[in-house]
Amino acid sequence: MARTDAPGPSSWTSPWARIRLKLHKWRIPDELRHMRTAHPDFALLPQDNGGWRILWRGETVGNTLPLTALTTPSQDHCFIVGTGPSISALHFQRLLGHDCIGVNGSILKSIEAGVPFRSVVIGDRQFFIDRFPLVRQTLLSGTECLFSFRGLSAICERAPELLADARVFVLDEINGRYGIAKPSPQAFDELATADPELRLHPSRRPSEGRVGYSLNPDKGVFTGQTIVYSALQVATRLGYRRVFLLGLDLGGTGSGTRFYESGAHAAPMRLDRDYEPYILPAFETAAAVCKSIGVEVYNLSPDSRLPAQIIPRLTLEQALDSIVDAPSS
């Protein structure tokens, strides 16, 4: 496999640029501190259709679509393709013809196996920086790209021309939305408790918006500290009634790397740090919410760290058989 981890050029490398960045961050108030990692020359302007115009150095380089413009599912089920090492053992071409939502670097599986993804979700700015060739492949694949605003800023720093014709959507973190002041953890939990479209874990709060479930990604998604969790919230909003999670190993295979990484080129993971306080309670919340709205969620990773009592497990064969056996709607 060709190396895919070479970063693109950055516009923050000169001494003057670094000084300008520090001044830029200093001018941004604390309630908008989540905006500080966006480049000073990057901006989003709201449009009448609910999307955004993407500006780079004062010029329009692309436009995002509103989440309501995401393709309507033609099936009642989808596969969310994570990046755990268990992905490598799957007969991936068996997913051809099924709706697939990829995350981060799983676009490699789509390309290698010839299985188009309907959508790809990427949120972490560092992924856009460290794995920019994978971001480029995602943008050029023709899939629906659900990116954070920080990710769009990183793209503008490296290759803004990629945004001209791509199908791009902004997917914000629930408590880190573009241009919107960030309330305190306590204030956020009070707001979320009063909103029926936002469901918080019953005990893990104040949580800074990390432990909960969003039934309306237009308001943002809870990260759960794993990108598959963001994609799950998108899938349920799209109306899928059965969601199958692939590659959600969470370190359960004994490997802490993604399927496309190895050795010194593997990016560090925070699974051990994040699993107990964020990942586990997030999926506890997802399991309860999905059951309440009639959505079945299954984990297809055989050695996942996530207990089957929370998200039940199936094999890929069992999942595909259940689709064939299901009555048509």
Asked if pLDDT for residue 250 goes beyond 80, the answer is: yes
pLDDT score of 276: 92
Nearest 5 degrees, angle CA 34-CA 38-CA 43? 110
What is the token pair recorded at 110? 């789509």
Crossing angle of helices 227-238 and 280-292, rounded to 10°: 10
Phi, psi of 10 (to 5 degrees): -115, 150
Distances (CA, A) of 18 to 11, 47, 154, 173, 288: 9, 31, 15, 26, 46
**Residue appearing with tokens 């033609």:** 74
Asked if pLDDT for residue 231 goes beyond 60, the answer is: yes
Residue 268 lies in a domain: yes
Residue 195 lies in a domain: yes
Instruction: Band the pLDDT of 208: cuts 50, 70, 90.
Output: confident
Does the predicted model carry a pTM greater than 0.75?
Answer: yes
pLDDT score of 262: 45
pLDDT score of 2: 38
Residue 204 lies in a domain: yes
Query: 166 with 145: CB under 8 angstroms?
Result: yes
Residue 145 lies in a domain: no
For the stretch 159-183, pLDDT in tens is 999 999 999 999 999 999 999 999 9
Q: Could you give the 3-state DSSP secondary structure of residue 42? A: strand
Residue 152 lies in a domain: no
What is the token pair recorded at 207? 């949580």
**Residue appearing with tokens 């069992």:** 318
Q: Looking at residues 116-137, what average pLDDT do you find?
A: 96
When the pLDDT of each residue in the chain is averaged and rounded to a whole number, the result is 89
Q: Looking at residues 125-146, what average pLDDT do you find?
A: 96
Query: 143 with 116: CB under 8 angstroms?
Result: yes
The identity of residue 71, as a single letter, is: T
Q: Could you tell me which residues come within 8 angstroms of residue 144 by beta carbon, excluding any fewer than 6 positions away?
A: 70, 71, 118, 119, 120, 167, 169
Nearest to 215, CA basis, from 194, 191, 248, 239: 239
Asked if pLDDT for residue 124 goes beyond 50, the answer is: yes
pLDDT score of 4: 42
Does the N-terminal peptide bond of residue 206 adopt cis geometry, omega within 30 degrees of 0? yes
Residue 14 lies in a domain: no
Nearest to 305, CA basis, from 266, 259, 272: 272
Count of Cβ atoms closer than 10 Å to residue 82 Cβ: 28
CA torsion 186-188-191-196 (nearest 10°) is -120
For the stretch 276-317, pLDDT in tens is 999 999 999 999 999 999 999 999 999 999 999 999 999 999
Choose the weakest-confidence range: 93-97, 108-112, 251-255: 251-255
For the stretch 61-98, pLDDT in tens is 999 999 999 999 999 999 999 999 999 889 999 999 99
Residue 78 lies in a domain: yes
Look at 274 and 79; give whichever has higher pLDDT. 79
- Report the distance separating Cα 54 and Cα 45, nearest Å: 7
Residue 35 lies in a domain: no
Look at 302 and 29; give whichever has higher pLDDT. 302
pLDDT score of 17: 65
Asked if pLDDT for residue 205 goes beyond 90, the answer is: no
pLDDT score of 179: 95
Asked if pLDDT for residue 9 goes beyond 60, the answer is: no
Which domain does 309 fall in, by range? Answer: 71-123+171-325
Q: Looking at residues 264-270, what average pLDDT do you find?
A: 54
- The percent of residues in the chain predicted with pLDDT above 90, rounded, is 75
Nearest to 109, CA basis, from 131, 137, 136: 137
Domains in the chain, number? 1
